[in-house]
Amino acid sequence: MAEAKDMGGAAVGQTLPFLDAPEKAAGAALYLDDLRLPGMLTGRALRSAHAHARIVSVDAREARQVPGVAAVLTGADLPDGPRMIPHRRGAPLVARDRVRYMGDVVALVAAETEGAAEAALERIRVEYEPLPVAQDPREAMAAQAPRLWPEGNLLNHAKIRNGDVEEGFRRADVVVENEYQTPSGEHLYLEVESAAVAPLPGGGCQIWGCTQQPFLVRQNAARALGLKGETAVRFVQTIPGGAFGGKSEASLDVCLRAALLARAAQRPVKLVYSREESMIASSKRHAAFIRSRTGAARDGRIVAAEVEVYLDKGAYAANGGDNPPAFKRATYHALGPYQIPNVKVDVYCVHTNHPYGGQMRGPGCPQVHFACEQQMDELARALQIDPIELRRINGLKVGARTPWNQRLPESVGLLETLAKAEEASGWSGRRGGGRRAPDGRLRGVGVASCLYGTGNAYSPAEAHIFLTAEGRIQVAAGVVDFGQGSKTVLCQIAAETMDVPYGSFLMGAVDTAVDPFGGTSSSSRITMQGGKAVFQAALRARQEVLRLAGLLLEADPGDLELRGGLVRSRSHAETRVTLAELAKAYVADEHKLLGAADNIPPPAKTDHETGQGEPYEVYGFGTQVAEVLVDAETGEIEVTGVWAAHDVGRAISPLGVQQQIDGGVYMGVGFCLMEEVVQRGGRMLNPDMHGYLAPTVVDMPPVEGHIVEDPYSNGPYGAKGVGEQVTVPTAAAIANA
């Protein structure tokens, strides 16, 4: 109990061991590939041979004769409904008449062995009639461009209009105008898309897999299987081997395809994509083409900005159809964290015959910040103002209005991140130092800031808190911890709120049959949006513990208090009961619900024509300083240091925030210097880990993270979020350096 007294009620802001660290460190964590279901078959998919083609015929007769083959599914074997991925508009699970990118699947096979599945795939004859390929989103908007869809290739066009942008530019003393281009990116999660499915009586199934959206998988699987009611499908999360936003969407098709095969074979099926399939087929960071024009007065105040963004959406309307997160975020982050009176932003999301664009850590934001923050440095140079000073002059402050006319009443820590990054990096000293390192390489220092709309507007979360039979507290929030530490943070919030030691907490993998709806594990929303639900549930759970203790002790609950996991009477010091004793008395079975609550964030209120309004309820802010050494002869760039300061509202787990900063910076380094999905004619040229260069441990710069806490009154203990903003400014800081 000593331990409990020391830890209870002091969980938030403490660095506590990650909840899932022991099982991962011990190698006991079970990943999907470890799963063996009785009688399980191996699934395989036949991918398209073309980026764009009409399917003339598919002949699978020979494949069906291969010994050990239990099921072969072509487009002709499936009615229209089950052929499609509900959440990915237009995308087939098995294509029938048309393929629109090389990740499209034209046939599925389930067989006793991998060899038999492979042999069956080789015997499927597909006749294609190739079609011209759309590759560049700007060109794909033209009337004469190869069309993916009858209504044209433009998926959506978003705007921000405020003030008078032309008048603003007329009044500007300095105008800089540039074009930027950022490449398509690959998540390269260690664990490729994988699923195992067991058919259940009545047409339902149980799916094991790795996703950021368990309830979405359940819903989509139920629809694809034509089931009435989603609960006929049960989704059970296995330990995720990386996600980074990609498993918001890419996990859907592998689960649904495995489910179709399992139903056809009436046997369990495991489907694991190869690394090449994963890279060719999965969602990508949208390649972006950006035109920026920024005007400022001589005193540094930005008076006008105009941004035009073309996002390569690839073949399908993934991640929510017309208004996917990357598109919305590219729009509202294109102007950076600044006050600008006259603005015009146009973002075009355009279909091509590339892999579909999806969510990748801060979807849309690293791209538009790359442009915006280089514009800032160009302005600084033209105005001869220190780049940090220029950002300070224009930066959003409490009480300011964003360019889309959203008032920011609180929690705007940008200026503090500027000050912290400036001080920590020794900015002026480094800037004033020599232009060359002792070894002759050129030295450069750069800075970039960012804002990040935390969470999603109207993305509700629910949380349930249970007392287990052993007297531990179990949190269920229906959200996936893919390594970022969500479970840890949510349990810290519950521990602090209930005043029960963190060590008493448990949180399992998401199971849709058991867990409440938690929404997506993306948009840096779990701590803030899930955490608020957990906080409310924990308040109720605390009351319920006192009620039960009152029953057991035959005492007035009002005279009882819960501290350090122990219930005591205020008036009789010796009257006390532990959670284990309460559990023994009142947990009739596995566990008992103590409290449930939801968090319903306000809906986004934005005007369709002007973009003005409130797209996000609150924003995170950050500033990063990078120092680089460049070999002028070889062009080789070494990042020698990154100083990153981020306003997260409140760091529930300081260690977790630091880890996010490290990881975010590494990902930003890769985005800036190395990573590029290379495509020609719709064919990916580097679909493997040799061809696609990502930073390894030797490429990692030293990272110094600094946490700025400007609490958000509507976040749990003031917390906003951290997971994505930390990667947003890195590339621009390096480029500026």
- Enumerate binding residues for a second copy (CB under 8 A): 30, 35-39, 198-202, 206, 208, 215, 218-219, 229-231, 234, 266-267, 460, 462, 464, 511, 513-514, 516-517, 519, 551, 586, 588-590, 592-593, 596, 598, 600
* Contact in structure between 245 and 318 (CB atoms under 8 Å): no
Smallest distance from a second copy to CB 460, Å: 5
Nearer to a second copy, 359 or 459 (CB): 459
Pick the closer one to a second copy by CB: 234 or 333: 234
State in angstroms the smallest separation of the CB of 208 from a second copy: 8
User: Minimal distance in Å, beta carbon 559 to a second copy?
Assistant: 19
Smallest separation, CB 580 to a second copy (Å): 16
For the beta carbon of residue 503, count every other beta carbon within 10 angstroms: 16
Q: Kindly state the smallest distance separating residue 87's Cβ from a second copy, in Å.
A: 13
**In whole angstroms, how close is the CB of 399 to a second copy at the nearest point?**
25
Q: Do 243 and 485 touch, CB atoms closer than 8 A?
A: no
Distance from C-alpha of 323 to C-alpha of 309, rounded to nearest angstrom: 15
Q: How far is the CB of 257 from a second copy (least distance, A)?
A: 18
The distance of closest approach from Cβ of residue 361 to a second copy in the complex, given in angstroms and rounded to an integer, is 24
Helix 579-586 to helix 531-553 angle (10° resolution) is 70
DSSP code of residue 93: S
Dig out the tokens for 102 from the structure.
């090389």
- Spell 75-109 as b/e; 16+ CB within 10 A means b: bebbeeebbbbbbbbbbbbbbbebbbbbbbbbbbb
Q: What is the DSSP annotation of 122-169?
A: HT-EEEEEE------HHHHTSTTSPPSSTT-SEEEEEEEEES-HHHHH
Q: Closer to a second copy at the Cβ: 35 or 141?
A: 35
Contact in structure between 329 and 606 (CB atoms under 8 Å): no
CB nearer to a second copy: pick between 97 and 589: 589
235 vs 348 by CB, closer to a second copy: 235
DSSP tally for the chain: helices H, then strands E:
20, 30
Shortest distance, position 648 Cβ to a second copy, whole Å:
26
Q: How far is the CB of 209 from a second copy (least distance, A)?
A: 13
* CB nearer a second copy, residue 152 or residue 460: 460
Q: Of the two residues 191 and 378, which places its CB atom closer to a second copy in the complex?
A: 191
Q: Least distance in Å: CB of 32 to a second copy?
A: 11
Q: Give me the least distance between CB of 452 and a second copy, in Å please.
A: 23
Residue nearer to a second copy on the CB measure, 545 or 651: 545
Q: Given the complex with a second copy, which of 299 and 554 has the nearer CB atom? A: 554
Residue closer to a second copy by CB (options 301, 584) is 584
Read out DSSP for 223-291?
A: HHTT-SSGGGEEEEEPPPS--TTGGGTHHHHHHHHHHHHHHHHTS-EEEE--HHHHHHHS-BBPPEEEE
Closer of 534 and 645 to a second copy (Cβ): 534
Q: Which helix (H) or strand (E) covers residue 661, if one does?
A: helix 654-673
The DSSP line for 235-246 is EEEPPPS--TTG
**Among the listed residues 394, 361, 104, the one whose alpha carbon sits nearest the alpha carbon of residue 245:** 361
Q: Determine contact, residues 136/319, Cβ cutoff 8 Å.
A: no
The C-alpha atoms of residue 644 and residue 420 are separated, in whole angstroms, by 8
What is the rounded CA–CA span in Å between residue 360 and residue 325?
A: 10
| CA angle, 259 then 248 then 655, to 5° | 130
Report the distance separating Cα 480 and Cα 482, nearest Å. Answer: 6
DSSP 626: E
Distances from the Cα of 90 to the Cαs of 230, 340, 440, in angstroms?
A: 22, 39, 55
Using left for φ > 0, alpha for ψ between -120 and 50, and beta otherwise, residue 513 falls in alpha
Q: 476 — phi, psi (to 5°)?
A: -125, 120
Cα separation, 384 vs 479, in Å, equals 48
Run of H or E residues at 180: strand 174-182
Question: Closest separation between CB of residue 462 and a second copy, Å?
Answer: 7
Task: Specify the residue, 56 or 585, whose C-beta has the smaller distance to a second copy.
Answer: 585
Work out the burial of residue 64: count CB atoms within 10 Å of its CB; fewer than 13 is exposed, 13-18 middle, 19 or more buried: middle
- Residue 95's identity, in one-letter code, is A
**CA distance linking residue 367 with residue 424, whole number of Å:** 26
Minimum Å gap between C-beta 151 and a second copy is 27
CA distance to 12, 204, 216, 364, 587, per residue, from 201 (Å):
45, 6, 22, 43, 32
Least Cβ distance, residue 65 to a second copy (angstroms):
22
> In angstroms, what is the minimal distance from the CB of 239 to a second copy?
13
Which CB, 312 or 462, lies closer to a second copy?
462
Instruction: Considering the complex, state which of residue 385 and residue 533 has its C-beta at the smaller distance from a second copy.
Output: 533
Q: Which of 219, 210, 218, 199 lies closest to 237, judged by CA?
A: 210
